[in-house]
Amino acid sequence: MIRCYLGLIALLAGPGSAQTLDFPSNASLQITQGNPLDSYQMPIGIWENGTMPTATIEGELTVQAWRINAQSLTTLQLLRPLREQLRNDRFRVIFECQTEACGGFDFRFGVRTLPPPEMKINLGDFRFLAARRVVQGGTEYVSLFVSRTAQAGYVQVTVVRPPTAPDVDIARASSAPLRGNTTAPDSNFETKLDLNGHVVLDDLSFATGSSQLGEGPFASLQSLADYLTANPNRTVALVGHTDASGSLAGNIALSKRRAASVLERLVGQYGISRRQLEAEGMGYLAPIANNLTEDGRETNRRVEVIITSTEE
């Protein structure tokens, strides 16, 4: 889990070699804590029925918090490259979850984390991953707790190594800077919407099971607001979609609430007339990706805008 999503370049990989995470140059180390011999209760399952499965790991413990200074990052953006880096370095992912699927509030406070302001965890949007690999002298364990605010991403890296492992830095910040979703309107948005009659607002973020739209800013909403302002007689439907987790009825209700939260953002923040907007939900009935994978489920959790006007 090491190597932060952010651009991270993995270095080192031979049997028993140590590794260094390479964060983007716009990341900064907030705090480091360590002990040459300590134990770590690593989560290896979701919080369920009042308990959370953990494994007691002993060895040289190092915990770091990194802040990535970029707006509108998503937790999937942060985690995906890290996951690939770990796999490339022979780590085996033993547990991974996201927000409500982890156990929500209970899971978050069941995990030992560094305090704010060095490490900030958004209760509505976080991801956790645990991994291990065999190295010279024993087994190395890594966990990553990823979250974000509107202004920055946060990554807590926890590493437990055999006491005989080489002494190396856990991470550094020297790769290309990581940028979140731009706030500049998409100049092609109007063309795509007029040509196809619909556009996925693909930079919006929702946690699994949540109808709360992330803080943003979101470039797609600015583009849609500009489009509706320039076309005051045009009407659109905001249609929410979910992944396939849960019942159809529950997902239809959830997807409609997501669309409604987007509608309220357009009205409240961008001044768009309610007359031009409606909110509907399709649940999991119109997927655009495979629900068998986490990346596919993430893609299916979306809101689409559809033109409902019948005249130019």
Same domain, residue pair 278 and 171: no
Question: Comparing 71 with 285, which gets the higher pLDDT?
Answer: 285
Per-residue pLDDT tens digits for 221-232: 989 988 998 888
- The strand pairing partners of 34, in sequence order, are 62
Same domain, residue pair 216 and 124: no
Could you tell me the residue range of the domain that residue 73 belongs to?
21-175
Residue 4 pLDDT greater than 60, yes or no: no
Same domain, residue pair 92 and 168: yes
Task: For the chain, give the percent of residues with pLDDT over 70.
Answer: 88
Rounded to 5 degrees, φ, ψ at 75 are -65, -30
256 CB-near residues (< 8 Å, 6+ apart) = 240, 279, 280, 281
Least confident span in 54-58, 106-110, 138-142, 212-216: 212-216
Q: What is the CATH number of the domain that holds 203?
A: 3.30.1330.60
Residue 197 pLDDT greater than 70, yes or no: yes
- Kindly indicate the confidence band of residue 187, based on its pLDDT and cuts at 50, 70 and 90: low
Distance CA 194, CA 192 (A): 6
Domains contained in the chain, number: 2
Instruction: Report the chain's terminal Cα–Cα distance, integer Å.
Output: 52
**Which of 175, 199, 215 corresponds to the end of one domain?**
175
Rounded to 5 degrees, φ, ψ at 43 are -60, 135
Closest to 14 in 3D by CA, of 163, 173, 166? 166
Residue 167 pLDDT greater than 90, yes or no: no
Residue 254 pLDDT greater than 70, yes or no: yes
Same domain, residue pair 145 and 194: no
